[in-house]
Amino acid sequence: MKIVVIGDALVSSATLVDAAKQIQFPGSDEQIEFKIFEWFSDLKKEQFQEKILEIEKNGPECVPIPDGVNEAMVDADYLLVHIAPVSKSMIESANKLKLIGTCRGGLEHIALDSVRAKKITLIHVIRNAEPVADFTIGLMYAETRNIARAHYEIKHGQWRKSFSNDPYKTILTNHTVGLVGLGYIGKLVAKRLNALGVKVIAFDPFVDKSKIAKEGINVEFLEFDQVIKQADILSLHMRLSPETENMINKDVINKMKPNSYIINTARAGVLNKADLIEALQNKTIAGAALDVSWVEPIEHGDPLLDLDNITLTTHIAGDTIDAIPKAPYLLKNVLNDYFQVGFSDMLIK
Annotated catalytic residues are 267, 296, 315
Q: Are 261 and 144 in contact (CB under 8 A)?
A: yes
Q: What are phi and psi of 281, to 5 degrees?
A: -65, -40
How many Cα neighbours within 13 Å face the side chain of 135?
Answer: 25
Write 59-67 long-range contacts (CB < 8 A, 24+): 59/108, 59/109, 59/111, 60/85, 60/86, 60/87, 60/88, 60/108, 60/109, 60/110, 60/111, 61/85, 61/87, 61/88, 61/111, 65/39, 65/89, 65/90, 66/6, 66/37, 66/38, 66/39
Q: How far apart are CA 223 and CA 202, in angstroms?
A: 8
Q: How far apart are CA 231 and CA 130, in angstroms?
A: 23
Q: How far apart are CA 141 and CA 192, in angstroms?
A: 13
Q: Are 137 and 317 in contact (CB under 8 A)?
A: no
* Other Cβ atoms within 10 Å of 207 Cβ, number: 18
Q: How far apart are CA 130 and CA 134, in angstroms?
A: 6
> Residue 11 in 3-state DSSP?
coil
Cross-strand partners of 304:
none
